[in-house]
Chain A
Amino acid sequence: MILRKQSAPLLPWLSSACPCNVFASFLLVFALFPASSLHSESPLSEKNQTPWRNASVFLFNDAYAGFVKNADSADPMNRLGQAATLLNTQPRTSQNIAAAQEILLDLSQNPSPHSTLSKLSRFLLARIEENYLTPPQLGEAKSRYLEIVKDKTGIPLLELSASRLVALTTFAKDKPSENLAALAALEPLAGFLTTPEGTREFHLAMGLAILENEGDPNLVLSHLIKADKIGFRRKENVIHNWLVIARLSEKIGNKNLATEYYQRFINNFPNDPKTFGIQHRLTNLTKNGAN
């Protein structure tokens, strides 16, 4: 397990405004280094660092060329890099996607289907099935996502599989009632999630999916508040979640909760262009009661 000194928070107002989020931020960073470290399983060679760095800053063609130059069939990290960058190398072709799939299918079984490398490969395979193939193979993608969630990977990136399942279910059927039933069947997935990020994204996705299908507002609030307690790094996400909680509480007549979240927004973002309107809304809420 690798520990590191926590760097300066990207959004300092968040930690200064909400002490609870300091702990949350720590957890988020800490959770990026799960017990089964990729580094210990498949160390990253010096020569492959530059291509991975290029891939991390959107220079996909350069990254792919770097991986090919250093190609070594015995180096799984190089092969994973080739597959990952083939997905976005320009021009994006079906041959590239097929080649990436082939590499990932092999990596998902070798050296071991339980390795972190295998899990990452399976996640990318699910992403290909969902988002790259024409037509998409949503059934296969869902099975892989479900399998990864049940693996309890402890890796935030892979735990996004749970929120992907929610997204694929949100509008899957024509009738909102059917979507709500399918979403309810996903509730137990929360029990498989062990990282704050995976858990937060799952609750956020569930809350919004139920809301889009006009489901139980209290269930929506419960999910969104769970996500809020873990905390967000991006200001726009903090604001979005707080205002949805406040607005929904206002709509169902939960004046206290609406007031709490409107007030929280005003206190933390006094210079935001929305603050004037929110203050006006809060004043009316206090004066007239919830509508």
Chain B
Amino acid sequence: MEQTNNSRIWNLIGLGLVIIFFLVAAIPMVWKSFTQSLPTDSKEITIRFAHWQLEGGVRRAFDLAAAEYTKLHPNIRVEQLAIPDKIYVNWLITQLIGGTAPDIVQMGKGMSDERTTRYFLPTSALSTKPNPYNKGTTLENTPLRETFIDDMESVFSTTLLDHYGVPLSAFTLRMYYNLDLLQEITGSTELPATYGQFATLLKQTTEFSQKTKKRLYHIAASGDNAPSLIDKVFRSQTGKLGDGLAYDFLPSTRPPAAHLGMAFANGEWDFNEPSMRAAVTLLRHLGSHLQPGFMQVSRDDAMFNFIQGNALMMPGGSWDYSSISAQADFPVGVGMIPTPLPDEDSRWPFSEGIISDESTNASVVMAVTKESRHSEIAQDFLLFLCSLATNEMWAQESGWLPAVRSAKIGSESQSFMPNLNGFTGGFSPGFSGADTKRVVQTSIGLAVNPNGSVDKFTNHLNSEFRNALASDLERNAIAAKINSQRADTVSLALYVLSQNGDASAADKLAIQLEGMSATDRGYQLGLQAIKLLK
């Protein structure tokens, strides 16, 4: 009997505990459910955005912008997810396919037309209206598109005919240098402005290294940054070459790959062309002062050499500045990459002048995902990010260039401002795609190694280039054909929708028709070039 009573008491205690735990679990849920039914203003909402910019300063700049946004909208919290770039593509695709992507993601890596249109909201509708966060500034009445340095061209998809995302920054290529070392070697704190003076600096550095018995690289380079340097070297010497070609239809513009291919096939240029030889001579001089084996060196290793004080200079993008200046224990200088000027001396008769930062497009593009549960708030946060005041703050904090026109930049970023007062330059041998780039990059040793020579490099390219060029143009032609085929279905669909009263489809169709002709023309030119090359 007593045992039965004890058992009943324990059962009651157990039941009581169950009820208590139930209430503990249920009350917050009921409370949450109650609060969620309140008007939007009092709901706490979290917006997440993902990017791969792990460079120093950038994450802090994003955090500051997020905090400023929360000050304006206390019920909205903004969290950033910084994903290493090596895994970004796989991570992003998994998230997109799984329906778990953040509200905003950085575009650029792993994107295709299909992914873009399937998973992201276009920003074309926003682009024609002023940014509300620019109220009270000089951009108050300016349509969003025109507030960016490139009129949002970098986020306009010429195939999808829509804008996707907004850009936050812009990048340029510069030469970083160890200011203390430079001063020790030359007594100056500035990099030389002309190539002749730069050549003297390289010589002085060799002498300094020998005298001090310090192993010092003139320029820390890697397979990551050297191709841009090589490209600039060639462009500085081949600007005038285009003028002599039969297919020179576009002044101050690099001829299309198919035209250059046709001219090469017709024997109008090859690597014995004087301007090409001048470019290779320049490459040999500059390349012989790069870190040995640079094409096999990783970006991190080159940067490590520079930061450790083992190299006087290192070419790099403006995106590297915050990381380099944070890690180097010496003052870091930033200068232009020098190329020969026409009146410098008679050695460089093919130089036109200073080569501009011609391809400075806005970048760090952020876009709202279609899966976002708070897409309107996410878009609003994007508008906040790319407003004049926030982009200015973001740029100053990150040390990167702003993407918004008239945004003031810090004194440290002045050296990275795009220089458009220069020539666009000519073309480099990797103009047509992966195969010509491969031929140049794998044979670069013939130009820059001590036992190499201008002749060895040019002879090699003359024998290998034709097949590589044909292979690239074939690939380009296939791509153009696929684009042309896709345009058939898209343009018909736009026409059908426009006939059904869809004004946006009518607008897109008007643009699509121009694109179709251009794609088809490119395809025909490519086929002709391949025919001539084979």
Contact = CB atoms under 8 A, between A and B. Distances in A.
Contacts of A243: 249-253
A38 B420 contact: no
A214 interface: yes
B423 A277 contact: yes
B238 interface: no
A183 to B, nearest CB: 13
Interface stretch (B94-102, B451-459, B512-520): B512-520
Contact of A274 (B117, B424, B506, B528): B424
B496 A44 contact: yes
Contacts of A280: 353, 423
Contacts, number: 196
Contact of B486 (A4, A58, A201, A276): A58
Nearest to A120: B492
Interface in A185-239: 197, 201, 204-205, 208, 211-212, 214, 232-235, 237
Given A39-B500, A237-B514, A281-B251, A56 B422 contact: no
Interface string A242-262: 011011101000000000000
Interface in B212-252: 246-252
A10 interface: yes
Given A55-B489, A156-B513, A4 B501 contact: yes
A29 B340 CA distance: 50
Contact of B494 (A56, A204, A276): A56
Given A53-B493, A273-B358, A281-B252, A201 B499 contact: no
B252 A88 contact: no
A148 interface: no
A131 B422 contact: no
Given A4-B503, A44-B496, A85 B251 contact: no
A167 interface: yes
A171 B359 CA distance: 32
Contacts of B128: 8
Interface in A17-53: 28-29, 32-33, 37-39, 44, 49, 52-53
B113 interface: yes
Contact of A201 (B501, B514, B531): B514
A56 B507 contact: no
B371 interface: no
A29 B503 CA distance: 9
Nearest to B254: A274
B147 to A, nearest CB: 13
Contact of B510 (A13, A214, A233): A233
Contacts of A13: 151
**Range class of the B interface residue count:** 35 or more
B497 A53 contact: yes
A2 interface: yes
Interface stretch (A105-113, A139-147, A157-165): A157-165
Given A120-B492, A205-B517, A205-B521, A234 B511 contact: yes
- Highest count of chain A CB atoms <10 Å: which of B484, B510, B525: B510
Contacts of A132: 485
Contact of B249 (A81, A124, A211, A275): A211
B126 interface: no
A273 B248 contact: no
For A37, A58, A127, A204, the residue with the greatest tally of chain B CB atoms inside 10 Å of its CB is: A58
Contacts of B299: none
B168 interface: no
Nearest to B358: A273
A277 B528 contact: no
A233 B511 contact: yes
B48 interface: no
A289 B491 CA distance: 45
B528 A171 contact: yes
B420 A273 contact: yes
A276 B423 contact: yes
B499 A157 contact: no
Nearest to B505: A56
B159 A276 contact: no
A69 interface: no
Nearest to A262: B251
A80 B493 CA distance: 10
B246 A214 contact: yes
A152 interface: no
A65 interface: no
A7 B517 contact: no
Interface in A87-132: 87-88, 92, 120, 124, 127, 131-132
A278 B510 contact: no
Contact of A38 (B421, B494, B496): B496
Nearest to A25: B510
Given A56-B494, A88-B486, A235-B153, A33 B499 contact: yes
Contacts of B490: 55-58
A52 B251 contact: no
Contacts of B359: 273
A273 to B, nearest CB: 4
Contacts of A182: none
Given A59-B114, A243-B251, A157 B495 contact: yes
B189 interface: no
A69 B353 CA distance: 63
A10 B127 CA distance: 9
B484 to A, nearest CB: 6
A244 B524 contact: no
Contacts of A92: 485
Contacts of A87: 485, 488-489
Nearest to B354: A276
B374 interface: no
A94 B230 CA distance: 44
A197 B499 contact: no
A152 B393 CA distance: 58
B500 A58 contact: no
A197 B507 CA distance: 13
B492 A49 contact: no
A49 B151 CA distance: 32
Interface string A162-176: 011001101100000
A84 B496 CA distance: 11
Interface of A: 2, 4-5, 7-8, 10, 12-13, 28-29, 32-33, 37-39, 44, 49, 52-53, 55-60, 63, 77, 80-81, 84-85, 87-88, 92, 120, 124, 127, 131-132, 155-157, 160, 163-164, 167-168, 170-171, 197, 201, 204-205, 208, 211-212, 214, 232-235, 237, 240, 243-244, 246-248, 250, 271, 273-278, 280-281
Interface of B: 113-114, 117-118, 128, 143, 146, 149, 151, 153, 158-160, 246-253, 352-353, 356-360, 420-424, 481, 484-486, 488-501, 503-511, 513-518, 520-521, 524-525, 527-528, 531
Given A29-B507, A273-B356, 15 more contacts: A4-B506, A10-B507, A32-B495, A32-B498, A56-B494, A57-B490, A58-B159, A92-B485, A157-B509, A157-B513, A170-B524, A171-B524, A243-B253, A273-B420, A280-B423
5 contacts: A88-B488, A168-B524, A201-B514, A273-B356, A276-B421
